[in-house]
């Protein structure tokens, strides 16, 4: 198979984990006989510095023409500490999602047996926890009408039936492939937009009689993810709620550096780790590349290359079991490995097993 992959390394630790992901993907493609081409492009602060635009037209065209995008991270302290900045790195991520029509963000939350002790929750709560958060990505407050002055500000949370139906179909498809349980998260007791979500979900549930559908207020969902994370199979929600809940879900596993994600929709899909750019660690070779590498596995899954995806996950699991880990998840007393050393080990394991 021929694969044309746009590589958006971005900012902070992005270039380091990007190299790790590319290295492992190349090892898999060499092993299974695929022809892969990597095309780099600028995004975030790096793009602002070079062009003034966090998502330049040239980057959009490279992404549009690719089979998939391997994205890393955006964010820079220079912009975080400047409230008057006219362009911000994170705007590049939002622009990419909007221009590529990426309305569905898929974030698996899965615990690793050898790392359960890293979770802030008791082992009996998290052992075996395995669910998927599906977040609507191009609607709601992040993209609604906005106003800001010295005395007043507002963000509008607006959704259409079409937007809700299409993300629910993604969620139901995932539920059918898993344990056939879908939880729709909203705030229908307060918000009109959430009442539309609940109404549409109730109507659509009749089309999926094999899936158990329940609704849950977002505050209850936030508590339940801590009290009983194993209750969930597939969770679907709107943009803002999803942004918050998926980060909460990531902490359950013990490290944000372990979880990948995919964004899919009308155009080229994007695969990325869920963590940020961690600019304080840039260039220190300490960033955990596992989430980036597992996003490569999700990329292979998207193209139904299941053996290739399994090879990546097998190698990652072996690296964790054998304590080939970066400092953030290493056992006390064990030698820590750098970002590139972990990537090298995983790529070598793929090549030789």
Catalytically active residues, by annotation: 142, 187, 219, 243, 247
Cα 17 to Cα 24: distance, rounded to the nearest angstrom:
11
- Cβ contact 326:338 at 8 Å: yes
Closest by Cα among 143, 177, 187, 163 to 103: 163
Distance CA 316, CA 294 (A): 8
For the beta carbon of residue 283, count every other beta carbon within 10 angstroms: 11
Q: How far is CA 209 from CA 157, 182, 232, in A?
A: 30, 11, 18
Strands (E), the chain: 2-10, 35-40, 68-73, 104-110, 130-136, 146-148, 153-155, 181-186, 212-217, 234-237, 260-264, 270-273
Q: How far apart are CA 233 and CA 248, in angstroms?
A: 16
Q: What is the DSSP string of 270-335?
A: EEEESS---GGGTTSS-S--HHHHHHHHHHHHHTT-HHHHHHHHHHHHHHHHTT---GGGPPTTSP
E strand intervals along 222-280? 234-237, 260-264, 270-273
Q: What does the buried/exposed string (b/e) look like for 287-307 if buried means 16 or more CB atoms within 10 Å of the residue's CB?
A: bbbbbbbbbbbbbbbbeebee
Per DSSP, the residues of 47-63 read: HHHHHS-SS-HHHHHHH
| Distance from C-alpha of 97 to C-alpha of 69, rounded to nearest angstrom | 11
């Amino acid at each position: 198979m021929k694969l044309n992959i746009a590589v958006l390394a971005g900012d902070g630790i992005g270039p380091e984990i990007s190299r790790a992901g590319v290295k492992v993907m190349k090892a898999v493609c060499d092993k299974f006989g695929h022809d892969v081409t990597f095309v780099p492009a600028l995004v975030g602060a790096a793009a602002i510095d070079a062009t003034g635009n966090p998502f330049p037209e040239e980057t959009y065209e490279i992404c549009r023409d690719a089979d998939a995008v391997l994205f890393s991270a955006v964010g820079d302290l220079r912009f975080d500490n400047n409230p008057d900045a006219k362009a911000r790195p994170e705007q590049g991520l939002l622009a990419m999602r909007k221009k590529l029509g990426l309305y569905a963000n898929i974030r698996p939350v899965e615990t690793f047996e050898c790392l359960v002790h890293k979770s802030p929750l008791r082992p009996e709560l998290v052992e075996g926890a395995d669910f998927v958060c599906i977040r609507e990505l191009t609607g709601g407050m992040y993209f609604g009408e906005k106003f800001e002055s010295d005395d007043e500000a507002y963000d509008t949370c607006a959704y259409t039936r079409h937007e809700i139906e299409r993300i629910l179909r993604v969620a139901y498809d995932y539920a059918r492939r898993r344990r056939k349980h879908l939880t729709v998260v909203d705030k229908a007791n307060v918000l009109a937009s959430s009442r539309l979500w609940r109404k549409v979900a109730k109507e659509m549930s009749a089309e999926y009689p094999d899936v158990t559908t329940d609704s849950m207020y977002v505050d209850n969902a936030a508590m339940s993810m801590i009290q009983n994370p194993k209750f969930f199979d597939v969770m679907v929600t709107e943009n803002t709620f999803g942004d918050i809940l998926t980060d909460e879900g990531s902490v359950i596993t013990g490290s944000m550096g372990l979880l990948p994600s995919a964004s899919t929709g009308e155009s080229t899909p994007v695969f990325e780790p869920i963590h940020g750019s961690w600019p304080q660690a840039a260039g220190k070779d300490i960033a955990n590349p596992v989430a980036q590498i597992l996003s490569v596995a999700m990329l292979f899954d998207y193209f139904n290359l299941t053996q290739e995806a399994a090879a990546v996950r097998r190698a990652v699991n072996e690296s964790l079991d054998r304590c080939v880990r970066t400092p953030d998840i290493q056992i006390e007393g064990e030698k820590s490995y750098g970002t590139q050393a972990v990537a090298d080990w995983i790529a070598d394991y793929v090549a030789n097993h």
